[in-house]
Amino acid sequence: MNIILDSNVFKSNFLLSGSSFDILLDYLQRTNSKVIIPRIVYDEVLSLYRRQLEDSYLEYEKSLENLNKILLVREVKKDFKKEFFNQLVLDYDNYLRNKLKIKDSNFIEYKKGYLEEVVRRAINRIKPTKPDGKDFRDSLIWISILDYAKNLGKPIAFISDNVNDFADFDKVSLNKSLQAECLENKVEIKYSRNLREFVEKQSKEFDFVDNNWLTEQLDWFDFQNQMLEYLQDEKIEKQLIQILDKWRKNSVDRIEFLDIESFLGAEHNYVYEMLNGELMVSAVVFTVLSIDVNYLIELPMNESDRPIEFDYYNFFEEVGCNFNITLMAKNKSVVSIDVSSVDFFKI
């Protein structure tokens, strides 16, 4: 079954790394399938990549400027120039083509008739056009997919996290009006919100893989160290600071991860068998995280005309922490663990 990817799949992981993409590549090889990309999506992906380069370059310039302000002797010079961007985008284009084995035949090219159909949908407010008649992009994508499916004559998969325009009210299945179009045109388009959901639909059951097996396979000491190292990522720290700000209604100045205090349990989601016989197990591990938080708290004032004053206070906090992990297993034993994301909750 050929798979059509929307641009948001690439934007979430430009280098196509991690277990979900590993499974996607394995699935393509196992089933002799292809990744198919509407031309509008591929052009958008390259544009998004360039914008990410430009944004990162601005951050790089600012960081370099701040660094040079505090150096005593030597000034750090820029080795990277904006002129490199065109070549970097070309390199990324080649990277995608090699990684996903994309040839010219893998693209759904623009056709003259598509424009008239987009206009017709906009006038009549036909999905995925929005009620205000806007959204040229998504209409063009859907028309491209539908046309490809009719010509192919086989079921295809479509992966996009744009649930507002492509999914139904349940945010899981394809929109009912789009389903009706598929039925009318005698095509089958299987919708998934993301790669993880698509992979789960390809999973299998293995008797020995249960929550008890999962718990036995986790070396708690090694797991603690790996999780604490994962939490050091700046993005994770910012995520938790925003959550604490909302929970405590105080401004968080700084946090320090102390320890993963307790293991509350583990639960497996699905299992995918790779071509080499290894099993890829998706699971979630429930833990309690202890952190040291430095809050900036507004002090109570007796006189209304006095300026607002603040002070810093340190608190010990415990936060629930769910780690979404992928385990690679061989001969019923885990050989590696990869952390994909983390969710925090109150306890």
Q: What is the mean pLDDT of each run of 10 residues along the chain (347 residues)?
A: 95 90 90 94 95 89 84 72 84 96 94 78 73 73 93 94 91 93 94 90 87 88 88 87 81 82 87 90 92 73 56 80 92 90 90
pTM: 0.75
Predicted local confidence at residue 6, as pLDDT? 95
State the distance between the two ends of the chain, measured CA to CA, in whole angstroms. Answer: 44
Residue 33 has a pLDDT of: 93
Listing DSSP states for 230-243 in one string gives HHTSHHHHHHHHHH
Quote the CA–CA distance of 247 and 346 in Å, as a whole number: 8
pLDDT of residue 50: 94
Phi, psi dihedrals of residue 313, rounded to the nearest 5°:
-135, 140
pLDDT at 156: 95
Residue extents of the structural domains in the chain? 3-201, 211-345
Contact 311, 287 (CB under 8 A): no
Q: What is the pLDDT of residue 135?
A: 67
pLDDT of residue 263: 86
The correct CATH number of 3-201 out of 3.30.300, 3.40.462, 2.30.29, 3.40.50 is 3.40.50
CB 292 within 8 A of CB 314: yes
